[in-house]
Amino acid sequence: EVQLVESGGGLVQPGGSLRLSCVASGFTFSDHYMDWVRQAPGKGLEWVGRIRNKANSHTTEYAASVKGRFTISRDDSKNSLYLQMNSLQTEDTAMYYCARGHHSFDYWGQGTLVTVSS
Amino acid sequence: DIQMTQSPSSLSAFVGDRVTITCRASQGIRNSLGWFQQKPGKAPKSLIYDASRLQSGVPSKFSGSGSGTEFTLTINSLQPEDFATYYCQQYGSYPYTFGPGTKVDIK
């Protein structure tokens, strides 16, 4: 059974940093592209970014709203995906989901909540 | 960036109804479109990819069609568990973008 479990969310002050993790199981993690998607409270879904698999050199793509502030990385030996978030702003407050980037986003985690507030 | 629009933004339907949601892309995306269902407090669930292909385990009451710029999601014989918000999403080019959602509730 495919499972994605996010962690690392919490309350952070504007300008602060946070690192989210997503641990995968039930599939060959290293073969797959992985994505982060977020959802502000009461709002729609926003794609944050993607990291490709090793065969594609772990290259990344980002939404303009986070480019230069957020970094996606992965450790295939740990079946883990990461989202390093720097210079956080109040508008980054959201539930953050990791998703497997296969056939669109076929599996999602349950999400981890990030709140940026003073 | 490719803008995605959905219509209607919300609809009310009876159990047993058939409903159709339309999604439009601001430029052609071939068939690079997915549909997702989201219930309150839950993560989105993928229903359809490549505009018309059902994800594994998704019941055949859900169907998708379209290509280029106009797409539809049809739900046959609406059941209580189908009342949710539905999103389309394009993956034809970066940045990937979602539609604003269509909320389906009980009449």
- The reply to whether A68 touches chain B by the CB within 8 Å rule is no
At B9 the pLDDT is: 98
Residue of chain A minimizing CA distance to B96: A47
pLDDT number for residue A19: 98
Q: How many residues belong to chain B?
A: 107
The model's confidence at residue A108, banded by pLDDT at 50, 70 and 90, is very high
A33 touches chain B (CB under 8 A): no
Give me the pLDDT at residue A16, please: 98
Q: Which of A47, A109, A111 sits opposite B95 (nearest CB)?
A: A47
Pairwise CA distance, residues A28 & A50, whole Å: 17
Please tell me the distance in Å from A109's CA to the nearest CA on chain B.
Answer: 7
d(CA B52, CA B48): 6
Cβ separation B98–A63 shorter than 8 A: no
Q: Is A52 on the interface with B (CB under 8 A)?
A: no
For the segment A40-91, what is each residue's pLDDT rounded down to a tens digit? 999 999 999 999 999 999 999 999 999 999 999 999 999 999 999 999 999 9
A108 near B CB under 8 A? yes
Gap between the Cα atoms of A47 and A56, Å rounded:
20
Averaged pLDDT in 10-residue chunks for chain B of 107 residues:
98 96 98 98 98 97 98 97 97 97 94
